Amino acid sequence: MSIKNCPKCNNEFEENGKWGIKKFCSQSCANSREQTTEMREKKSKKLQKAGNCIYCNKECNSMSGLKNHKTRCDHNPSRKPGSFFNKTHSLDTKLKQGQKNGMGLKMPNSVLDMSKRTTSKIIKRLGVGCVCCGWNKGSCDIHHIVPRSKGGSDSNDNLTLICPNCHRLAHEGKITEFTSFTIQIGDEWRKYYFAHK
């Protein structure tokens, strides 16, 4: 190994490090070097705009941004007609479109076929309260009338909406009669599956 002097700070260092032949003793010395015209041109090419959309001529900052914009561009002829969340589409159209786009693998039959976040949003949009006491000041819980451990299903016939206090009482066996989600709401929840509120 040969010893070399750093052109920036004049410190001695070993020329052959684990990353190959070194010109500077440290990263800070290497970063503070004067840049040649060739180096500046290389850097400016990297920083140039990625280009414009071929459909609407919108300027994009990066190649990934340009690619994403092209697939979502309103002027793209191969884009799916209408927005998936367009309020003018019927519920059936939205469900079919969701299946086609892979946004949903199946049409939800129960409120538990969706994520907890989506389910809580639907319940909030419905504005319904506890079936036992009517409380609706906050979020209510979904309770299985027949527990899953005892063979109960996730269908809306076996689900009910109750407040946290009644939910605790239900698990303690102090509340035993419930109105199912199907009787309380029916298929009304499907209208709020794609709502924007």
The model's pLDDT over 101-156, given as tens digits with 9 standing for 90+, comes to 444 445 677 888 888 888 888 888 888 889 999 898 888 899 999 998 999 998 88
**Whether pLDDT at 197 is above 50:** no
Query: What percent of the chain shows pLDDT beyond 90?
Result: 15
pTM: predicted TM-score of the whole model, two decimal places: 0.46
Place of tokens 């509340």: 175
Q: How do residues 61-82 score in pLDDT, each as one tens digit?
A: 777 778 777 777 877 777 655 4
Query: What percent of the chain shows pLDDT beyond 70?
Result: 76
Q: What was the pLDDT predicted at 161? A: 92
Q: Which of 118, 94, 119, 116 is nearest to 107 (CA)?
A: 94
Q: Are 139 and 123 in contact (CB under 8 A)?
A: yes
Burial of 65 (0-12, 13-18, 19+ CB in 10 A): middle
The residue count of the chain comes to 197
Please give the C-alpha separations between residue 39 and each of 23, 30, 31, 33, 62, in angstroms, as whole numbers: 16, 13, 12, 11, 21
